[in-house]
Structure 1
Amino acid sequence: MKDPLFKQKKMLHPKLIDKALKLKNIDETHKKEESQLPNRNRKINKLKRLINMIDDENVGLCQGYLTQMKVLIYHNKASLFDERSEKYHPKELLDDVDFRMKIMQFDYDRYLYDDFTPEDFLDYLIFEKTQRHASFIKSYDARVLLPDAENCGFSGIAYEVKIDGIRECYVTFKGTEADMDYTENSRSKRLEKFLLEGYKDWNYNVNAILVGKSEENDQLVVARKFMSYLNEHLKENCLVYGLGHSLGGHFVQTLQLTDDYFKAGYTLNSAPVNLKQVQQIKPDLFDETTWKKLFELTNQKTVTNILNREIKRLLPREYPEIINQSFEQDLTQVFYEIPYTIWVGQKLEYNLNNWKYPFKQHLASYLSEEEIHSYQHFFEQLFVYLQDSNTSTQLMRSTLGFLGARVKILQADIDKPITSQFFYDYSNYIYESGIFLDRPQEITEDLNTSQLTMWKSSRREWPFLKSLNMDMLDLSVYFHIISGVKYFLNKKPNKIE
């Protein structure tokens, strides 16, 4: 308080106190009760306990408030921070794991930095990672620059920086996970925005990536417009890097394949490139013979090294500058089992050798080709059914209506051998992935004879439906999001050739 800075900037001290009190409040309300997890010394229980302990510490939120305090101090008294003598090296920030995680996470955590501009945040982050001061920082928000971005759900921020004369631009593409906007005071409006944002991303995920429909390429079209805008407005000799998590990683890979936008790139738990979509966006990327060969190789597949090498030989080049890191059993890896999907660049997978995590990412080990196509068709139909939903209430009502209609069809046809087999195979895959605790049984009774309601009869005939494992669902999300999976990327990865 004796520092004259507090007299010059009277709001600085209250702001610091506000952040400190929020940290203190987190500590005081820290959960004290012991975990209710089973005490048996099993790997799956140890994994649950470890993640519960991490969540219990509120690490992400605490780091957010602490970073806010550091940003305030850095921008008001930079003399407290020692600068290194060595000059900045190109790509130094991109090669820093913590920088990659934080700059990708920023788009999800914007509500934590409502008092700051993106430039404020990045200015401090650059110094924290390099101990060098940036002489120029400018952010480009796709949703500000391109009206179509918000309409279709696309989200991306580019940061142009200059450090010791080196110009770089870090383009971050946001993933599917809709973030709750806590700057909105109304809880209902927050939820409305959250659900509608999530719907836009999943609509693109399903139709453009899972199915490859031409009419649902809106987000990729906007992503290309965003990159074109950057190319026109960035200073000369600016090195452009792409970063993306989940759906954002799909944009990094796809844009590099179609347009070679990036000097280098990094993705985390990325969704794949869909070749059908690429053909619609850039048909002249390959000749007709090459397109045909690529589609033949990826039409029905179990991922193998031989198949991957054949695909790579047909691409324009190998794209070693794109690094794709993923948790081996991440839920997005299922997308790579879908027809016509590939990855671009290097693929590094991390596993849990010391833990038990049952999720199965290889669909072909459990489902036939017809069943995988049926899986695609189910979600395609769902989003056709939802396309006229303009509010979260309509979304929820339409989703339940669609599921109810499909259950009725299932009940009517369950005595047919093909329907019974499909249902059992899907259910068994979900069970083997740990999402059901009870093993499904072969269908032995025609539900048409039941006089119960649709849902009650379903639960009577298929009692395993009542054994939904919420812990497993939570884990699948945890190992997908940046703030979860980052704790498990410190081992030597398996490089997929």
Structure 2
Amino acid sequence: MKELLSTLNRLNHVYEQIDLLNFRAHKDLPLTFNKADSKQLLPKNKRLQFSYSYLNKEKTRLTNLLLNQVIDLRVPEFSLNKTIHPQLIDKALKLKNIDENHSKQKLKRPSRDRKINKLKQLIDKIEDENLNLCHGYLNQIYVILLIHHLLPIELRKEPYQAGELLHDNDFRTKLLQFDYDRYLYEEFKPENYLRFLIYTRVHRMPDYVKSYDAREIIPEAAECGFSGIAFEISIDGLKECYVTFKGTEVNVDYTVSSRSKRFEKAVLETYKDWDYNVNAILVGSDKNLSQLNVARDFMRYIEDNIASQTLIYGLGHSLGGHFVQTLQLMDYCFDAGYTLNSAPVNLKLIQHVKPTLFSDDVWKKLFALTDDNDNVKFITPELRRQINRLLPHDYSQIINEVFEQDMTQVFYELPFTIWIGQKWEYNLSNWKYPFKNHPRAYLNSGEVHAYQKFFEQLFAYLSSSNTSRQVLRNSVSFIRLRTRILRNNINDPQTAKYFFDYSNYLYQSGAFNDQPQKIGQEFIEQNNSVIKGSLREWPFLKSINTDMFKLATYFHVIDGAKHFLNRTPNKL
């Protein structure tokens, strides 16, 4: 058993090193193509390739060793429970299969032997490792050993302190990630995974653990796309409850063998979340309040069913962070909390849901402070102080951690959006990352409202979609219609200006490689197809930089964002 645990720990460390290497590779991916950047990329590539080659070989060696050790393992508990050994072998075999499939995978060779293409291929190799899946099966082996008392427990002498887990970066990110990966643990109770996670972080064992899944408690949760889990725990007599809210990140269930079914589920889940994102957060309307209503019902259920004197903590990523902030502002239900790359609070939404939160006079003052009125809306320290003076509580117990150039930060420059509590911004020094998280430097008030209106109309158009195919088909249909309208009206000075300003903002943010030009010419004959004709008329559209979109997504999701948290933040 001692040798098996040593192999498990070493393999887990290798997974973590490959995960860190993935972050380094994404960080080093240049989005500009000058000679200086290109020259620096050659030694970086060599170091990254060398590290990956070593880690990949070590991973294969340890995976094979783990399987052999699990097969050869003999302990008295196996004779008492005949299911333990087959379970362990099954998890080790799955890790072996993932590794073998990865080694057989032949990734597409780049068309040109450029340094940047080699770096992209390395990223593809690492992503093909399926690290979250590997971590899941490895953790399942730990959990099996734990629940059958085969895992040696070394407890520290010092008792647990309140909030100790809350302020642990790894605990928070792994607990948030669990909501995305919980399909991996369906054969175990969530409580078992949490016991293992708590022990690994603080080396104390909880006296009591109970989980509450919103989708099991509230039938409407799955229907509207809301996802949240609460964990009630007691450690050394201290009672805490961690409530986690899932974000909009696509949740792919790899245990479903059918790709089409995985795709169908992922598209519909994402569509439901974005329907709420657009209507509730982007626009601040009352067209889709279902997720927020379910979130409030879930919190009321938690408060009614957990033990008295329990400290309640809120955790949320992206959309989930919006729920932490919004619930705290409306109902003050958390003793403390953290969010990661959180979407903001929309005051118009709050007014629809809880109009009595403020007096009419305070509502008017808040709207006046957070509306742009054709002025650029930046949340300055003085504006923050004015807003905070109007809020009913201090809210400093909520800490919003964010990658400084995260794409959700665009939401915070929309009218009537705020954050509550503290904001800790993280970034890297001497790093070239072009995404502009201050669009108001490029777009005026009318352009921002037109942007909001576009997405509001898109999701109104999609409202009758019931399947993933309908969502995709209707989305393409809507874009074709709007493109046709744009082409027919591009000679209008305001339309031409809006189109150029949007395109220029995307170019400045790295979304296009070619700079857009102002349109002032007559169009090619009208019998062109909408898409092909548009590409001829606006050739910069062909230069879309998919690398930028991939990077923006990676640094937003937990896999990428968590690596910023060990740096010193700028506290606002």
CA distance in 2, matches of 1:49, 1:101: 27
Q: Which residue of 1 aligns with 2:244?
A: 172
Deviation at 1:193, TM superposition (A): 1.7
Aligned residues: 493
Task: For residues 187-221 of structure 1, give each alpha carbon's deviation from its aligned partner in whole angstroms, at most 9, with x where no partner exists.
Answer: 32222221111111000000000001113111111
CA distance in 1, matches of 2:126, 2:393: 41
Whether 2:501 is the aligned partner of 1:425: answer yes
Gaps of 5+ in 1: none
Q: Which residue of 2 aligns with 1:363?
A: 439
Deviation at 1:79, TM superposition (A): 5.6
Q: Which residue of 2 aligns with 1:382?
A: 458
Contact 1:411 1:448 in 2 (8 A): no
Whether 2:76 is the aligned partner of 1:76: answer no
CA distance in 1, matches of 2:535, 2:207: 64
Tell me how large the CA RMSD over aligned residues is. Answer: 2.2
CA distance in 2, matches of 1:385, 1:438: 31
Moved more, 297-306 or 383-392: 297-306
Q: Which residue of 2 aligns with 1:97?
A: 169
Normalising by structure 2, we get a TM-score of 0.82
Match for 1:436: what amino acid? F
Check 1:77–1:114 CA distance in 2 against 1; reply closer, same or farther (3 A cut).
Answer: same
Contact 2:396 2:421 in 1 (8 A): yes
CA distance in 2, matches of 1:63, 1:32: 23
Deviation at 1:49, TM superposition (A): 8.5
Contact 1:153 1:219 in 2 (8 A): yes
Check 1:54–1:350 CA distance in 2 against 1; reply closer, same or farther (3 A cut).
Answer: farther
Task: For residues 157-188 of structure 1, give each alpha carbon's deviation from its aligned partner in whole angstroms, at most 9, with x where no partner exists.
Answer: 11111111111110000101231233434332
Whether 2:178 is the aligned partner of 1:106: answer yes
CA distance in 2, matches of 1:388, 1:23: 42
Match for 1:407: what amino acid? T
3-state secondary structure, aligned to 1:158: strand
Task: For residues 99-142 of structure 1, give each alpha carbon's deviation from its aligned partner in whole angstroms, at most 9, with x where no partner exists.
Answer: 00011100100122222111111111111112111121111111
1:182-197 correspondence to structure 2 within 5 Å: 182-197=254-269
3-state secondary structure, aligned to 1:167: strand
Normalising by structure 1, we get a TM-score of 0.94
Whether 2:188 is the aligned partner of 1:116: answer yes
Q: Which residue of 1 aligns with 2:355?
A: 283
CA distance in 2, matches of 1:25, 1:208: 43
1:19-168 correspondence to structure 2 within 5 Å: 19-28=91-100, 29-30=102-103, 55=127, 58-78=130-150, 80-168=152-240
Contact 1:47 1:355 in 2 (8 A): no
CA distance in 1, matches of 2:154, 2:226: 39
The match for 2:489 among 413, 428, 448 is 413
Task: For residues 256-297 of structure 1, give each alpha carbon's deviation from its aligned partner in whole angstroms, at most 9, with x where no partner exists.
Answer: 111110010010000000001111111121111111111111
Aligned sequence identity (%): 57
Contact 2:142 2:151 in 1 (8 A): no
Deviation at 1:8, TM superposition (A): 2.0
The match for 1:350 among 426, 435, 458 is 426
CA distance in 2, matches of 1:328, 1:446: 42
Task: For residues 232-256 of structure 1, give each alpha carbon's deviation from its aligned partner in whole angstroms, at most 9, with x where no partner exists.
Answer: 1111111110000000000000111
Contact 1:358 1:432 in 2 (8 A): yes
Check 1:348–1:50 CA distance in 2 against 1; reply closer, same or farther (3 A cut).
Answer: farther
Q: Which residue of 1 aligns with 2:529?
A: 453
CA distance in 1, matches of 2:265, 2:551: 25
Q: Which residue of 1 aligns with 2:388?
A: 312
Deviation at 1:350, TM superposition (A): 0.8
Task: For residues 315-342 of structure 1, give each alpha carbon's deviation from its aligned partner in whole angstroms, at most 9, with x where no partner exists.
Answer: 1122111010011111111110111000
CA distance in 2, matches of 1:185, 1:366: 46
Check 1:66–1:184 CA distance in 2 against 1; reply closer, same or farther (3 A cut).
Answer: closer
3-state secondary structure, aligned to 1:447: coil
Moved more, 385-394 or 347-356: 347-356
CA distance in 2, matches of 1:34, 1:194: 25
Deviation at 1:34, TM superposition (A): 11
Contact 2:208 2:233 in 1 (8 A): yes
3-state secondary structure, aligned to 1:108: helix
Match for 2:499: what amino acid? F
Match for 1:378: what amino acid? F
3-state secondary structure, aligned to 1:109: helix
Contact 2:524 2:537 in 1 (8 A): no
Check 1:67–1:15 CA distance in 2 against 1; reply closer, same or farther (3 A cut).
Answer: same
CA distance in 2, matches of 1:52, 1:493: 30
Deviation at 1:147, TM superposition (A): 1.2
Q: Which residue of 2 aligns with 1:329?
A: 405
Gaps of 5+ in 2: 1-72
CA distance in 2, matches of 1:478, 1:74: 33
CA distance in 2, matches of 1:255, 1:403: 35
